[in-house]
Each structure stands twice: as C-alpha cells, then as structure tokens.
Chain A
Amino acid sequence: MRARLAAYVLLAALVLLLPAVAGPFLRYLVLNMLLLALLALSFNLLFGMTGLLSFGQGAFYAGGAYTAALLLRAGVPLLWSILLGAIAAAVLAAVLGAFCVRNTRIYFSMLTLAFGMLVYAVVWKWTSVTGGDDGLIGIPRGRIGLPGPLDVRLDAPVPYYLFAAVLVLLSMAVLHRLSASPLGLSLRAIRENAERAESSGIPVRRTIYIAFVTAGLFAGLSGALLAPLEQTVSPSTAHWTKSAEPVMATLIGGPLSFLGPIVGAVVYLGLKEIIVRFTEYWLLVFGLVLLGTVLAFRGGLLGAAGELLARRRRG
C-alpha cells in the first residue's frame, strides 16, 4: 500500500516537472492525456463501478467547456470560471440524470446517447449564446482569481499547464478516495447484484443518481479546463464521437481497476497521434481495436497484464 502511494506521488511529480524538460508539443499532448484521463475516470465511475454504459459524457464535457468559456469571456477569473463550469455540468447531469437513471441498463445507454445529442443540437442551434457551428473563440486565460499575491496570471502555456495538471491530479485523488468510500462500495454491490444490494438497505437508484451527478461534475471539469487551453470551444465537444473517447480509453486500459482509464487515455491519445500521421480514418482503426478488445480482452491492458502476472507467479 505504501509502495503504491509512493508510485502515485512519483507519477504526479513527473507530471508536474514535465515542462522543465519537455517541449510545447509533448506538454500539450500530456495535458490532453490528463484531460481525457479525467473524462474517462468520470465515465468509469459509472461503467466500472456499476456496469452502466454512458454514451453521453460529451454533454457534460461540453457543458463545462461552454460555461467556462462564457464566464471567461465575461471577465470572471480563471479558477472560478473553471469551478463554475464543472458545477454547471453537474447541474445539467442532475436534470438529465433524473430521466436516465430511472431505467434499466439498456435504456440507460440509449438515453444518455439521445440526451447527449440533444445537448449537441442545442449547442449547434443556439447561435446567439454558443456561436453555433463556429463555436466560441478568443477565450482569455488571465488572472487565476485568488486573493493578494497568489493572484498570478496564467496567460503563458507553462503556468496554465501546471494549473490544469494540479486540478486534474487533485480530482484523481478525490475520485480514488471515492472508489474506496461507502459510495464506491455501494456502487460495486449494485454492479454485482442490484436486487441484493437493494434488499440489504442500499437505495440503488439514489446511489446511482449520486454517481451520475458526480461523473457529470468531473466530466464538466475536464471540459472546463479544455476551453482556456484551446482558447476556443466548438460543438464537437458535445458530439457522440467525443463521448466515445472515454469509452474507448477505458476499454483499452481496463474498466476494473482505478488506473485503467488513465492508462487507456495515455495509450489512446498516443496511438491516435501516430495513426493520424498515416490515415484520416483513425475511427476505423479504433473501431477495430474496440472490436478486438470486446472479443478477446475484456479486462483491457491492465486486465491482461494482471493475468500474465498471476500466471507467472503460479509458475
């Protein structure tokens, strides 16, 4: 346990020290990996823990991104725009969750996809607020919004990288803590047997609802951090192809361990970076990867690694 904690701290330190050694390309790539990892973790809070497959995380991602973008353009300081963006996404999740969580698993996947595309349609059509097809441009980073000498400016890429990385790492710590909390245990009990969980006193629907809203909050945070990074947001953040990214990352890494979605996000974006150099049909490639994963490696990379390790130990 102590060794694992040390490994986490070491990894976090590496992430924070990266700008000292890496150029802008790698820094940008790693920050994107962190944001996708957070989005995938939010997805896996539902999928890995309860077995509920959400195809609508893009809606909350976009909710966070657009809220943060609008607030920043209105002059609200950075930290508050980001946090309010995440909260707005959680509110959106609280509303949509009331419809999605009432039903069986199949309905859940279908409804999250449908409501996700509703958000996409709204973003696309509501041109006066969201900029429609063009999205919002010229999003400033500016001051962080803390009192006194702490109120630094984050216009330059490296300070913004550090700010975003710290927020993502803190969120990961919270999510990790959450997976071992009573909420996490209840969610796992629901995954294994919802009826038994209900009869042993776990309010199944309410527990899933809480997980849904929490997942929305962190998906929103990921999106909110994207807006000042890119300094633009576009409707594609809400599209189902965006919602598919955390699904694929989680499946590649492995849904059953906490680290799975993080490993998956790194592998997914790393692979994508390589594939797009050869072909524009990278979704086709990932479709094939997903197909292979579902047919042969349902535990993902970490699941396969765990099996290999166990086999070697048995000798």
Chain B
Amino acid sequence: MLFQGLVGLSEAMYLWLVAAGLSLIFGVMRVLNFAHGSLYMLGAYFAWVAFRISGSFWVALVVGPLLVAAAGWVLEFGFLRRVYSAPEAFQLLLTFAFVLILDDAVKLAFGPVYQSPPTPAALSGAVRIGRSILPTYHLFILAVGGLVGLGLWFLLEKTSFGLIVRATAADREMARALGVRSSRLFTGVFVLGAWLAGLGGALSMPVRAISPGMGEFIIIEAFVVVVLGGLGSLRGAFLGAVLIGLLHAYGLLFMPVFELALAYMAMAAVLIVRPWGLFGVREA
C-alpha cells in the first residue's frame, strides 16, 4: 500500500516538473505551450546523447536540461516573440507547429526505435521499506522533485526576480508601467520553464523508455494536472501532479480497467465544481 504510494509519488515528479514549467509560462506570459511535452522529450534525448559522449549520468543530468533551456531560448526569442500581438490562438498554433517539427526531427535524428537507456551505478540499488523493496532511483527522483519545488518557492517568494515574476503575473500592464522589462522577463521565464521540462526528461531517461512519442503522453497528462490544480498556480501543479500520480498507482492496484479513465474523471469532477481549478484564480 505504502509502497504503491511511493511509486506513484515518484512517477508524479516527472509530471510535476513538466506541469510546473507549463504553469509558470502560462502564469507570466499567458501562453499555453503545447510544445512543452516535446521539450521534455528533448531533455531525455539530449541527456542520452550527453551520456553517450561523456559516459557520466551526472554530466548528462546537467548538460541535457541546459541544452533544452537553450532550445527554449531559440523558441521564444526567435519565434514566439513575433506573435505576442496576434490573437492567442496563433500563439498556441505556433507552439503546436513545434510539436510536429520536434517530434519528427527527433525521429529523423535518432530513429523511431525505443532507445535503451543507461542506469546510473550509484542509484541502481534498492531500499527495503517494510516488506517491500523500492529502487533507490525512485527515492532520488522524489528528492529532486522536492528540491525543485523548494527552489522554485525560494526563487519566486524570496528573490527580486520572483517579485517581478509575481508582479507581472498579477497585473502585466501595471508591472510594465512600473518599469519591468517584460520582453526580457518573458525570455527568462520561458527558458526556466524549458529547463524544468528538460530536467524531467533527463531524469526519466534511465527508467522510462525514450521514444519520439513520449512528449505527447506527458503533455496531455500535464494538461490534466494544470486543469486540476489551476493554470498558473505552482502549488496547484504540484498537488495536481501528486494526485494524478497516486490515482495512477492505486488505480492500477485496485481497478486496472479504469486506471486510464480515473485521471480524466478527476478532471471532469473538478471542472464541474471549480472550473478554474483547485488553486487557480477565477477569471471573469
């Protein structure tokens, strides 16, 4: 029981990293990034390549997400920036174009086969908890997810960058009037969001199969998470991810037939009661 919960929680951490970036970008920029799942996928592939070259999991874990952050910079600075003045549907369509481009580009570069990922030596053991055995790697993922959560909290609540981010999210025009350079901030937030997705992808590399379709699965789950938690709310993204992770874990245990539908049922239930999500802000 407890064991299943821990497995669910560690699965939830990938989702949390993706949903956090998605929610952060939306909160500040009001752009829903459909390509966020593709950035997660890029994280896994870049980390894999970095591992092949360096032979070190730790180097891969640092380099992979940084490369994704660079890709995020290209996406925002080179493309997204040009359509901020267009209706929001076109911003969405632009990120959607990148889903198509990146998914196929990865297939082109790495082939459509499932890549067999390496297992880090230091984390390949297992820990005995009660009568069950939990892979150390699951605990590592939990720790990283928690640390990222703490780091984001510190960044947003305790630093001047966080102050600007929160001010812009609350009232964009007022922040701009007070001298916030929103174009630079947008780039920074997008790059940070991309880095978070890349970190999720890089972390998933040793335990989940790397495939060109991995982005589309996680982006849809991340959508469910942010609808549950409220788009733009990091607390909501965290609790939403945990909820979905646990639903999957216990759903698999108790009603495997409905496992897939459980997350959507939870989303539909929240939509009926609180359409703006558990921690979201009600929009007029």
Name A's B-contacting residues (CB within 8 A): 47, 51-53, 55, 99, 102-107, 109-111, 113-115, 117-118, 121-122, 125, 240, 244, 247, 251, 281, 283-284, 286-288, 290-291, 294-295, 298
Contact = CB atoms under 8 A, between A and B. Distances in A.
B131 to A, nearest CB: 32
A99 B268 contact: yes
Which residue among B87, B98, B101 has the maximum number of chain A CB atoms within 10 Å of its CB?
Answer: B101
Contacts of A55: 96
A111 B227 contact: yes
B32 A287 contact: no
A283 B104 contact: yes
A99 B96 contact: no
Contacts of B227: 107, 110-111, 114
A106 B101 contact: no
Contacts of B267: 114
Given A114-B227, A118-B261, A283 B79 contact: no
Nearest to A114: B223
B93 interface: yes
A109 B94 contact: no
Contacts of B94: 291, 294-295
Given A53-B92, A106-B88, A295-B79, A281 B98 contact: no
Contact of A281 (B30, B90, B104): B104
A118 B264 contact: yes
B231 interface: yes
A291 B261 contact: no
Contacts of B105: 284
Contact of B264 (A103, A105, A115, A125): A115
Given A105-B89, A295-B79, A281 B268 contact: no
A123 to B, nearest CB: 12
Given A114-B264, A244-B100, A286-B100, A294 B93 contact: yes
Nearest to A125: B260
B101 A284 contact: yes
Contacts of A117: 220
A121 B97 contact: no
Contacts of A240: 216
9 contacts: A51-B87, A99-B272, A106-B30, A109-B32, A110-B231, A113-B223, A283-B100, A284-B105, A290-B100
Contacts of A103: 271, 275-276
Contacts of B32: 106, 109-110
A121 B258 CA distance: 11
Contacts of B86: 294, 298
Contact of B93 (A105, A106, A114, A251): A251
Contacts of B223: 110-111, 113-114
Interface in B180-227: 216, 220, 223-224, 226-227
A99 B93 contact: no
B107 interface: yes
Interface string B97-112: 1111101110110000
A285 to B, nearest CB: 8
Which residue among A99, A106, A125, A281 has the maximum number of chain B CB atoms within 10 Å of its CB?
Answer: A106
* A-B residue pairs, 7 tightest by C-beta: A287-B100, A284-B104, A287-B101, A290-B97, A291-B97, A53-B89, A281-B104
B158 interface: no
Contact of B108 (A102, A105, A281): A281
B171 interface: no
Given A107-B231, A291-B97, A295-B82, A113 B220 contact: yes
A296 to B, nearest CB: 9
A283 B213 CA distance: 13
A114 B220 contact: yes
Given A114-B264, A284-B104, 20 more contacts: A53-B93, A55-B96, A105-B88, A106-B26, A111-B227, A114-B220, A114-B223, A244-B96, A247-B96, A281-B104, A283-B100, A284-B108, A286-B100, A287-B101, A290-B97, A291-B79, A294-B83, A294-B93, A294-B94, A298-B90
Contacts of B82: 295
A283 B103 CA distance: 9
B275 A102 contact: yes
A201 to B, nearest CB: 19
A86 to B, nearest CB: 24
A290 B260 contact: no
Nearest to B220: A117
